[in-house]
Copies of this chain bind each other. A is one copy, B any other.
Amino acid sequence: MKKIITISRQYGSGGRSVGRKVAAQLGFELYDKEVLEQVAEQTGLHKDFIKQKGEYANATSKLAYAFSSLGAQNVIHGMSMEDYIWSVQRRVILELAEKGNCVFIGRCADFILKDRDDVLNVYLSADKEARARRIVELYGETDVAPEKRLKDTDTKRALYYNHYTDQEWGKAEYYDIMLNTTTIGVDRCANFIIDVAKYC
């Protein structure tokens, strides 16, 4: 029996829907925006600012990202703002995990909780066309083509993950289950994750 499930996901893959179903059916807490809210509370920073500095780091290249934390105007407790937010987020996730019976969406929870042995790590992907359709349905049209929005967010998530974890985003060795939601469907993905969480 796994007490904690982490769900990493490509943008537009339906990871949040899968996580919601898994949490509901297992009677687990779902931690998605809740992590962000706790970080906001503990730091006094605005959620949108944390979001921008956090998961959706404002980086367009590895170099830009590496240098972004060198801006002297942006230092708190001797750390760059990004590192400070990371350290609070890490503590929040470790504390929530202590209570057990929960599902984390994103935020490198798989890496942060890697020393525990009651965690099931899941990664969800989907076909490009399906992802493009989904983000337009969920978040609406913008001036930027959906394909470009996917690519940008994928790049940012991977850069953020690789930067803070020293692991490679989406690589098989860090996950127990990786599924394509386009092939398998949200419900079947959720049911399999529940089955594994219960019996493995």
Interface residues of A (CB under 8 A from B): 10, 120, 123, 125, 170-173, 175-180, 183-185, 188, 192, 195-196, 199-200
Q: Given A192-B192, A200-B185, A200-B188, A176 and B170 touching (CB < 8 A)?
A: no
Q: Which residue of B lies closest to A199 (CB)?
A: B188
Q: Which residue of B lies closest to A124 (CB)?
A: B172
Please pick, from B172, B177, B183, the residue contacting A176 in the complex, using a CB distance under 8 A. Answer: B183
Contacts of A188 in B (CB 8 A): 195-196, 199-200
> Distance in Å from the Cβ of A128 to the closest Cβ of chain B?
9
Please pick, from B120, B183, B195, the residue contacting A200 in the complex, using a CB distance under 8 A. Answer: B183
This chain's copy number in the assembly:
2
Contacts of A183 in B (CB 8 A): 120, 176-177, 196, 200
Contacts of A170 in B (CB 8 A): 171-173
15 inter-chain pairs at a CB distance below 8 angstroms, sorted by A residue, are A120-B183, A123-B172, A123-B178, A125-B172, A172-B180, A176-B179, A176-B184, A177-B179, A177-B180, A178-B179, A183-B196, A183-B200, A184-B196, A188-B196, A192-B192
Given contacts A120-B183, A176-B184, 16 further A-B contacts (CB under 8 A): A10-B172, A123-B172, A125-B172, A170-B171, A170-B172, A170-B173, A172-B172, A172-B180, A175-B178, A175-B180, A177-B180, A178-B179, A183-B196, A184-B196, A185-B200, A188-B200
- Is A176 touching B171 in the complex (CB atoms < 8 A)? no
3 shortest interchain CB distances as A-B pairs: A178-B178, A176-B183, A176-B180
